[in-house]
Amino acid sequence: MIRNYIKTAWRNIKKHASFSLINAGGLTLGIASCLLLLLYVSYHLNFDHQFKNLNNIYLVENNQPGDGKIYTFAATPKQAAFSIKEEIPGVVQTARVISYNAGGLLTYNNNSFKKAGLFADPAYVSIFSYHFIEGSAASALTRPNSIVITKDLAKTLFGSDNAMGKTVTRNNKSPLLVTGVIDNVPANASFQFDFIIPWTLFEAENTWTKDAGWGSNYARTFVQLKDPASLAQANRVMKGMVERHDKNNKNELFLFPFAKIHLYSNFENGKSVGGMISQVHLFEILALCILLVACVNFMNLSTARSEERAKEVGIRKAIGSSRKLIIGQFITESMILSFLSTMLAVVVMILVISPFNNYFNIKMSFPYSDWTTWAFIVALAAVSGFVSGSYPAFYLSSFQPIKVLKGMFKGGKGALSVRKVLVVLQFGLAVFLITATICIYRQIRYIQDKPIGFDKNNMVEISAEGNLDKKADVFIDELKRKGAITGGTQLSMSISETGNNTWGVEWQGKQPDQKILFEILNAGYDFTKTTGIKLIAGREFSSQYPIDTAGKTMMINETAAKLMNLKETVGAEIKWGGRPYTIIGVYKDFVRGSPYQKVPPMITGFVNSGADEIDLRLNPDKSITACVDQINKTLKEINPAYPPVVNFVDADFARKFENEKVLAMLANLFGGLAIVISCLGLFGLAAYAAEQRTKEIGVRKVLGASVSNLAALLSKDFLVLVSIAIVLAVPVSIWSLSKWLNNYEYHVALSWWVIALAGLITIVVALLTVSFQAVKAALANPVKSLRSE
């Protein structure tokens, strides 16, 4: 019976080849889009799932009250790891990790490579169960001069030679012994690195950590619990841990599941409020919508052919076929088309993965060897085939053979009504996706074009590593002399990054219970001149003032000045960390952190050594290439051990919009596909409608109807349905997109013209699709259509 089903179904598919091709094309695009989106979703859902102990690993988060809010960050005192292990039952092991200044230059046999690194306690590698190709987790980081490297780094440094026991030099001063080689870190792992070195090395390089107490938060602390069920008890004990060790410190530590870090990393007032998971859910819905559009397309075309297949159903019923058999036959047809479409969709998806990865800067791969993936694909094909064929099968099998064979069947109003609903549903989804695409694009452009307070164009940053730390002034002066730059300054960290802050700023008139978090960015000479930040009052740091080089002066931003509300800001004294500083200048607010949030109060002290970055303003009278070439040449002269790396500030700043750009491009891409799939169905329906009204068109043309009149006659019914879809999509679009925009402190308004433009685009595309068939039918020779009459 199954074989007969398949043979008959395949014969019918070939018989109605044009409709079958349109159906298969729509399903292929829908399933390929769905699979690609779900692969992207899976990429994010499986972040860090390569770790065996994932469900037992926790990151220590820190709740810090202040300014009427609770600030949450993943930094703890160095002592927290030991106290947690001693005071909390059920803790297997703890480890501290920090990436600050861990990366650097690794040299072996005069070959140097700049790589990313981590400082970590010995337990880190066993907590995360990294797979050791050579060495073991138990002993790899126990020696103070040890280093664990990835497989790719081992190949880069040593080629085919055995890496174990070899010595590499870090930053031209620290000899390190290779004590372990691990597998490469997967792309969807939260911590990316090329090597790991002992935590003790971090403390040796940063002597200030020796006296750091419970008020100094700089370590990421990981905890492995024996049983996740003990999490609540652990958090109860940890709640007052900081205060027990430091009575004046009201911070509260708590364990947060590491498995949730990637998807639920946003906190408000001490509670997780989501994060990447909202984008993941959005793409899940988008995948379902596109698949639904493709299935609706299939239903539409199948029911449109009801009159054509009515006699077939009538004859089969007359010779004894049951309704059950006829349903099975139609479902089999849709299943065959669905499986063929799915096979083609998998091929299409595999072909586009590489350009998709390159464009969105991710590393997805198709899991060829994972049987669950193939099982899901088969299930998706089966579900798509059943959903696509279910309504046509039940509808077509319901025909009464007597009426059909007597010629009394005219397609049925029920099928027509359902088709109209399905067309409205298709184009309603398309209108929503187009509206979302325009809205997301406008939001990104609004933030990108919003003044950020400094001139990011024509400005570059260079890490102050190696000799540059002490020769920054010489480097800047040399580049000025050669005409490559017009200004340069040193910064304690990148101008486009944030993360260094303090509660310890005091000023005259500050309330005793007032606790304000200040950002910190220390800078050198020509800070405002180089960056283009506007100086509102006073002056910036200058070598003409010995008080600056003595570290007794401070600059503040506009927000800090308003907050302090001093009678005379310039010349006033403030305290930071108990030390007095004189305010010498006030500069206009500029964006360092999220461009979607308000600029916080900021203080800027003087830095002349120990800076992390050197910012340079390129000479606008020379080409960028010539300026960068001169910078690279000078870097090689002053800092020959380090390969020159020049970062453009505008490119670094653009990374702040990566999530929104991905969202915009995916909405644009798959919204466009939804329109294409919908138009495929509309094209088929228009072709069928024109075919059904061939004689009517012939009669009207003989009686004098013009081509435009006939085209309008065939198009108006479809345009009415598209218009209804637009009307229904408007409230859904307004509600959902307004909710999305409200997530941003600064956002565009959802203007009426955005929805109007989306509707206009949909109408134009639909009109072009239908008009092609309408004009074709109107231009046909009426003699041929009326010959049988």
pLDDT at position 785? 56
- Strands 271-274 and 266-268 turn out to be antiparallel
Quick one: 432 exposed, middle or buried, by C-beta within 10 A (0-12, 13-18, 19+)? buried
Q: How many Å from the N-terminal Cα to the C-terminal Cα in the chain?
A: 43
**Band of pLDDT at residue 682, cut at 50, 70 and 90:** confident
Q: Report the distance separating Cα 486 and Cα 631, nearest Å.
A: 12
Mean pLDDT, the chain, rounded, equals 84
Q: Tell me: the pLDDT tens digits for 438-479?
A: 888 888 888 878 888 999 999 999 998 888 888 888 999 999
**pLDDT score recorded for residue 321:** 64
Instruction: Note the pLDDT tens digit of each residue in 614-635.
Output: 999 999 999 999 999 999 999 9
pTM of the entire predicted model? 0.82
Task: Taking residues 752-764, report their average pLDDT.
Answer: 86
Is 429 in contact with 749 (CB distance < 8 Å)?
Answer: no
Among 373, 293, 382, 390, residue whose Cα is nearest residue 342 = 382
Question: What pLDDT does 588 receive?
Answer: 96
Q: Is the pLDDT of residue 415 over 50?
A: no
What percentage of the chain carries pLDDT values higher than 90? 34
Greatest Cα pair distance in the chain? 107
User: Residue 121: which pLDDT band, with cuts at 50, 70 and 90?
Assistant: very high
Lowest mean pLDDT among 78-92, 254-268, 646-660, 691-705: 691-705
Residue 430, pLDDT score: 79
What is the residue whose two structure tokens read 């109003």? 413
Pull the structure tokens for residue 39: 């692969």
Q: 512 exposed, middle or buried (CB, 10 Å; 0-12, 13-18, 19+)?
A: exposed
Asked which of 125-139, 272-286, 721-735 is least confident by mean pLDDT, the reply is 272-286
Residue with tokens 């409608």: 689
Q: Who wins on pLDDT, 94 or 318?
A: 94
How many C-beta atoms lie closer than 10 Å to residue 640's C-beta? 12
Q: In this predicted model, what pLDDT tens digit does every residue of 586-607 receive, in sequence order?
A: 999 999 888 888 899 999 999 8
423, amino acid identity: V
Residue 741 has a pLDDT of: 84
pLDDT band of 642, cuts 50, 70, 90:
confident
Distance CA 438, CA 339 (A): 35
List b or e across 179-188, with b for residues whose CB sees 16 or more CB atoms inside 10 angstroms.
Answer: bbbbeebeeb
For the beta carbon of residue 641, count every other beta carbon within 10 angstroms: 15
The one-character DSSP state at 370 is: -
| Nearest of 459, 457, 472 to residue 634 by alpha carbon | 472
Separation between Cα atoms, residue 118 and residue 148, nearest integer Å? 10
Q: Are 504 and 546 in contact (CB under 8 A)?
A: no
pLDDT over 80 at 578, yes or no: yes
Residue 719, judged by CB atoms within 10 A of its CB (0-12, 13-18, 19+), counts as: middle
Which segment of 139-153, 232-246, 539-553, 682-696 scores lowest on mean pLDDT? 682-696
Q: Rg of the chain over CA atoms, in angstroms?
A: 34
Q: Which pLDDT does position 355 carry in this prediction?
A: 86
Encoded amino acid at 351, one letter: L
Contacts of residue 771, defined as CB under 8 A and 6 or more positions apart, other chains included, come to 711, 715
Q: Number of C-alpha atoms within 13 angstroms, CB side, residue 6?
A: 5
Least confident interval from 99-113, 303-317, 541-555, 681-695 = 303-317
Whole-number Å distance between alpha carbons of 693 and 361: 52
Of residues 313 and 66, more confidently modeled: 66
User: pLDDT-derived band of residue 653, with 50, 70 and 90 as boundaries?
Assistant: confident
How confident is the model at residue 484, as a pLDDT? 93
Of 559, 587, 550, 556, the closest CA to residue 573 belongs to 556
Residue 157: predicted pLDDT: 93
Which pLDDT value is given to residue 142? Answer: 92
Q: How confident is the model at residue 166 (pLDDT cuts 50, 70, 90)?
A: very high
The two structure tokens encoding residue 671: 């919204």
Strand partners of residue 257: 58
Q: How confident is the model at residue 789 (pLDDT cuts 50, 70, 90)?
A: very low
CA distances from 258 to 80, 190, 225, 629 (A): 17, 9, 12, 44
Between 268-277, 408-417, 650-659, the lowest mean confidence (pLDDT) is in 408-417
pLDDT tens track for 359-401: 777 888 888 888 888 998 898 888 888 877 776 667 666 656 6
SS3 488: strand
For 30, 136, 286, 350, the CA distances from 380, given in Å and listed in that order, are 11, 43, 16, 17
pLDDT of residue 198: 95
* Cα dihedral 539, 541, 543, 546 sign: positive
Question: Does pLDDT of 684 surpass 80?
Answer: no
> How much is the pLDDT for 564?
93
Which positions ≥6 away from 299 have C-beta within 8 Å?
Answer: 388, 391, 392, 418, 422
615 vs 23, which has greater pLDDT?
A: 615
The upper half-sphere exposure of residue 486, i.e. CA atoms within 13 Å in the direction of its Cβ, equals 14
Contact 596, 450 (CB under 8 A): no
pLDDT bracket for residue 787 (50, 70, 90):
low
For residues 656-679, give the mean pLDDT. 76
Residue 253 φ then ψ, to 5°: -90, 150
Concatenated DSSP letters for 107-118?
EETTEEEEE-EE
pLDDT of 409 over the 60 cut: no
The pLDDT assigned to 407 comes to: 54
> What pLDDT is recorded for position 106?
92
**Integer CA distances (angstroms), 298 to 195, 295, 302, 441, in order:** 53, 5, 6, 32
Residue 178: φ, ψ to 5°: -70, 115
Q: Which helix (H) or strand (E) holds 198?
A: strand 195-198
